[in-house]
């Protein structure tokens, strides 16, 4: 599965005004914003919030780098990530051991989406690994009261790959996000990666269409993995595809442009 987007969809059948960008106010979000600055002449390095331990840094296609960490205050099995673009931290999230979207924050806009406890079918990483398919049907609610309905599935077709020495399995997925009133806001499908050892998804190739008909194709696949003591661990500057013009394709709407910057699997 895949992280939710935090750009506002329309209400009813008319485009809703975009949320005004504002500073993130959650303590963890503020911590992420404060720890990446570097001294002049030195590469910026990420330090997780107090009580948290950085476990891995992933350089991705699409000009992003992801910092993966765990925090002692969280439920065992929970994982957190903060995603950086060349402009700094833009997104962070927390998942549980079943890779459910517990909390997702757009650090640029200060919008946080939380998982609604009740669901017809919560996402289940263990079901995917055991049976080769997981269907999900759940809701999220933002800190401005907006509710979104997410329905889709993940599949394991059986293909295995190795990226930077890490064994991964490919997935196929489809995901449709609806407004509270049932309007289709965005449809997403594509291929991603999972790691059984890490208990999580990583980005891949995605095709997205929003409610305006705008289409976007993107690639957020992982390229390198850095662990404690290895070169690149904690580095916050993306290294791949940053010379490309990272703007939406012709006619791309705001949701799809946001997805290009913020996508990562199940975070």
Work out whether the CA dihedral 165, 160, 93, 263 comes out positive or negative.
positive
pLDDT tens digit string along 193-224? 999 999 999 999 999 999 999 999 999 999 99
pTM of the complete model:
0.81
**Structure confidence at residue 223 (pLDDT):** 98
Residues linked to residue 93 through DSSP beta bridges, in sequence order:
81, 104
| Arithmetic mean of pLDDT, 247-256 | 43
pLDDT on residue 144: 86
pLDDT value at 139 more than 50: yes
Would you place residue 261 in the very low, low, confident or very high pLDDT band (cuts 50, 70, 90)?
very low
Average pLDDT, the chain: 82
> Residue 250: CB partners within 8 Å, gap ≥ 6?
none
Tokens of 172: 């196929």
Rg (CA), the chain: 17
């Amino acid at each position: 599965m895949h992280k939710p987007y935090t750009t506002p969809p329309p209400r009813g059948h008319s485009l809703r005004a975009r949320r005004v960008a504002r500073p993130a106010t959650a303590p963890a979000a503020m911590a992420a914003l404060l720890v990446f600055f570097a001294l002049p002449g030195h590469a910026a390095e990420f330090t997780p919030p107090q009580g948290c331990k950085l476990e891995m840094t992933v350089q991705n296609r699409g000009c992003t780098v992801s910092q993966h960490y765990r925090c002692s205050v969280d439920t065992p099995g929970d994982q957190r990530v903060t995603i950086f673009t060349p402009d700094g931290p833009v997104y962070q999230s927390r998942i549980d051991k079943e890779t459910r979207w517990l909390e997702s924050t757009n650090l640029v806009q200060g919008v946080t989406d939380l998982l609604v406890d009740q669901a017809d079918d919560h996402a289940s990483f263990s079901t995917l690994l055991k049976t080769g398919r997981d269907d999900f049907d759940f809701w999220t609610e933002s800190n401005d009261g907006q509710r979104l309905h997410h329905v889709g599935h993940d599949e394991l077709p059986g293909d295995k790959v190795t990226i930077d020495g890490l064994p991964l399995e490919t997935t196929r997925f489809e995901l449709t996000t609806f407004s509270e009133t049932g309007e289709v806001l965005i449809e997403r499908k594509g291929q991603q990666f999972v790691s059984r050892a890490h208990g999580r998804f990583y980005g891949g190739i995605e095709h997205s269409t929003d409610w305006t008909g705008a289409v976007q194709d993107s690639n957020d696949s992982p390229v390198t993995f850095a662990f404690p003591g290895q070169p690149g661990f904690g580095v916050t500057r993306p290294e791949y595809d940053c010379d490309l013009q990272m703007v939406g394709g012709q006619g791309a709407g705001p949701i799809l442009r946001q997805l290009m910057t913020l996508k990562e699997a199940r975070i």
